[in-house]
Chains A and B, each alone.
Chain A
Amino acid sequence: MYVPQTSDDRRAMLDAIGVKDIRSLYDSVPDSIYLNRPLDLPKGRPEYAVSRMMEAYAENNRRYRAILRGAGAYDRYTPAIVRRVAAKEDFVTAYTPYQAEVSQGVLQSIFEYQTMICALTGMDVSNASVYDGATAAAEACAMCRERGKTGVLISESVHPQVREVVATYVESATGERPTLIPTVGGMTDADALSKLLSTETACVLTQQPNFYGLIEDAEKLADLAHSAGSRYIMSVDPTSLGVMKTPREYGADIAVGDGQPLGLGLSFGGPSLGFMTCVSSLTRRLPGRIVGETVDNEGRRCYVLTLQAREQHIRREKAQSNICSNQALCALTASVYLASMGAEGLRRAACLSMTGARTLLRLLTEIPGITRAFPGEFFDEFVTFVPDSGRISDILEKNNILGGLPLTIDDKPAILWCVTETVSEDVLHRTAQLVRKAVEG
């Protein structure tokens, strides 16, 4: 399949090359290595047979009628135009836009993406995206590393998987693991932070809203970091920026996050995109591809990959990051989402989610045995203590609802709930009913 020649074609080609068979083209492969048996895989199949197999894989997953789980992946509404544009074959089948003359479409779309992400975060500059929010956070820590400043402080209220990824990256580069800033009441402990900061601290990383859905007193954290000569990195939920104070307003030097909610669907976790934005003084420390505006030799406005001398293909082992691919098609998807939704659409998504979350919180805490775990301002996720998270998850599963994420807080069972704009009020009531049954029954 997908080899568009006839056997006559191949014969003609072998003759032109001057060999009798394809095997002779592999003369440089030693006999000891040349595989003398077929690969131990089934033989090729017609497209129809494969389509049935792929459908079978897909069907072997549960389709919920409502999803009340977030924790880094959000079931949001994507306008139809987003998928339509992202499916255009020129965008899908294009290579990296190194040849600007044949790639203005991709380059301009990245330039627009960079602009929109900056508009969202309030920062000055964005790159063309990295793999996901966790690697974005790790690369942000690398941006802050300088001679004499290599320490990384991460709050315990940052998503656990993000913390794990940052730890892997930081440890391989510096030999030391990041230090955890403890939390109090689900929020970063500012007093503990001020004791942990030193002249060797390169950066402080917190998340907004944090893993528990809470809004942190980030201005205070930024001030503490800066007073100690450290930089402040904020990992943010892009949907929340439809209404929330921006990382810039809080005083962050670098804002990163995962772009999954911007039209990318749940997709079992990937592909996604990691956005990275910063204040202009840190521009040259941004890793990965960046698109800039320029003119051609006839003065026409156009776009190119720029500041390439930072990157691995030029700096090699002296590059700050090895990153080559970005998540181009995902960044395009996110920019179509942002362009079609606009500020008002994003605001609606945020408000609907917040309203729904407050409704669910009220309904759940009316049930005896269920209390809110951490008081405080929140976006669209919150934590409740529950008597038995297993029973609650089970009853919701049986009713085709994916409940919140079970957690343990101070040795007590708890659940991290999330409500997005895709959850109807009926479902919230039904959920509360079922949870009540699980608790009382």
Chain B
Amino acid sequence: MTIPENLLYSKTHEWVEKHGETVRVGITDHAQDSLGDIVFVGLPAVGDRVEIGKSLADVESVKAVAEVYSPVTGVVLSVNDALVSSPELINEDAYAAWLVEIAAESFEDLLDAAAYGKLLEEEG
């Protein structure tokens, strides 16, 4: 399982990349591996408000669906349209396949790469 050093992580297996007040959110390599082949991504609309801990998007595999929880409170600035036609991009490279870009107002407590690695060990 890869865990890039430059990103932050939530306990529910989302990754967060900060660019000032804008963040990009995706799901981790561990998450995509647990789901299996991803067949569909349900993304929010640009302009939607999102809240820490509430569902931001959902990701479907053949036999399951997983909620993606928002690690920030804010407004959706853009969504990764490429995922609509090619959801498999998340399986191929979970950290390149960002889901949503958000203008963040507040953040939940996020883990660094080392802490996330420890979480995976404990859960495993």
Contacts and interface: CB of A to CB of B under 8 A. Distances in A.
A318 B63 CA distance: 15
B83 interface: no
A284 B40 contact: yes
Contacts of A314: 63-65
B61, B63, B64, B65: most-surrounded residue (chain A CB, <10 A): B65
What size tier do the contact residues of chain A reach?
under 10
Contacts of B62: 308-309
A308 B40 contact: no
Nearest to A304: B62
B48 to A, nearest CB: 9
Contacts of A309: 39-40, 60-65
Contacts of A10: none
Contacts of A315: 65
A309 B62 CA distance: 6
Interface in B26-76: 39-40, 60-65
A208 to B, nearest CB: 32
A285 to B, nearest CB: 11
Interface in A298-312: 308-309
A309 B63 CA distance: 6
Nearest to B45: A147
B56 to A, nearest CB: 14
A199 to B, nearest CB: 16
A101 to B, nearest CB: 16
Nearest to B39: A309
B68 to A, nearest CB: 13
Nearest to B61: A309
Contacts of B61: 309
A108 B60 CA distance: 25
B38 to A, nearest CB: 10
Contacts of A318: 65
B31 to A, nearest CB: 16
Contacts of B60: 309
Q: Which 4 A-B pairs have the closest CB atoms?
A: A309-B60, A309-B65, A314-B65, A315-B65
8 contacts: A308-B63, A309-B39, A309-B60, A309-B61, A309-B62, A309-B63, A314-B63, A315-B65
